[in-house]
Structure 1
Amino acid sequence: MATTPEHDERVANMKFFSVYPHYVSKVEKKGRTKEELHQVIEWLTGFNESDLQKLIDEKVTFATFFERAKLHPNASLIKGVVCGYRIEEIETPLTKQCRYLDKLIEELARGRKMEKILRKA
């Protein structure tokens, strides 16, 4: 399933600071912690807690967020369906990166073990 240019543009222009509280809420409702969320985000992007806070304070878009990120070399091991899209079939790099993050957060909220979420080769 291919994404549309409009969808990709909408994803690129979303503000990270406006979505981040939803990530926190989603994992905490399921008994996981903000620290675990930060561990997952750091694994994928290389951003530590202070980096995240700076990005939130700057009100960056997801385009800027992922431009600054150093994606983990094993990120391509993240597979499956999230938000109605099969991650492996998404062609737009930014949209794929956003779905990687969504998938990791979904797995965290569903109680998957951290060693499985943080893919190893």
Structure 2
Amino acid sequence: MAKHRIYTMSVASVYPHYITKAERKGRTKSEVDEIIRWLTGYSQEELETQLEKQTDFETFFAEAPKLSPSRSLIKGVICGIRVEDIEEPIMQEIRYMDKLIDELAKGKKMEKILRTP
């Protein structure tokens, strides 16, 4: 079975859309970066390096230093599919990130987005 097209897309090609979506709703690039760092464990410098290298989504998540253990608390629908029901691991990670950016754009507080107890 062929890989989904998004796996080979660079994170850098989608990243500006995340920023635009957040900024349209009064949120910031630094909040988007904080979400991505929380989800993946990349430092800000490592994140910027991945973006500069045009790293694809599959590699971006495969090389993530420490995926957040709290990401399993992310629930809900993105693109008509419940994120908690996605069986393909890389696709689930991508959709987790999409869901978190959606929550940011919808005005949720960062503590809620980052699943802080």
TM-score of the two chains, using structure 2 as the length reference: 0.93
> Are 1:38 and 1:48, in contact at CA under 8 Å, matched by a contact in 2?
no
Q: CA deviation at 1:120?
A: 3.5
Q: CA deviation at 1:72?
A: 0.2
Structure 1 counterpart SS, 2:69: coil
Separation in 1, partners of 2:17, 2:89: 23
1:1-20 aligned at under 5 Å gives the runs 9-20=4-15
Deviations 1:67-118 (A, max 9, x none): 1112100100001000111111110000000000000000001100111001
Which 4+ residue blocks in structure 1 deviate beyond 3 angstroms? Answer: none
1:103 paired residue number: 99
Separation in 2, partners of 1:25, 1:47: 21
Letter in 2 for 1:91: E
Deviations 1:16-69 (A, max 9, x none): 110000011110110001111111111101112211110111111000100111
Whether 2:50 is the aligned partner of 1:55: answer yes
Separation in 2, partners of 1:109, 1:48: 23
* Runs (5+) with no aligned partner, structure 1: none
Separation in 1, partners of 2:56, 2:107: 28
The share of aligned pairs that are identical, in percent, is: 52
Separation in 2, partners of 1:99, 1:117: 14
Separation in 1, partners of 2:86, 2:43: 27
1:32 paired residue number: 27
How many residues align? The count is 116
Letter in 2 for 1:95: M
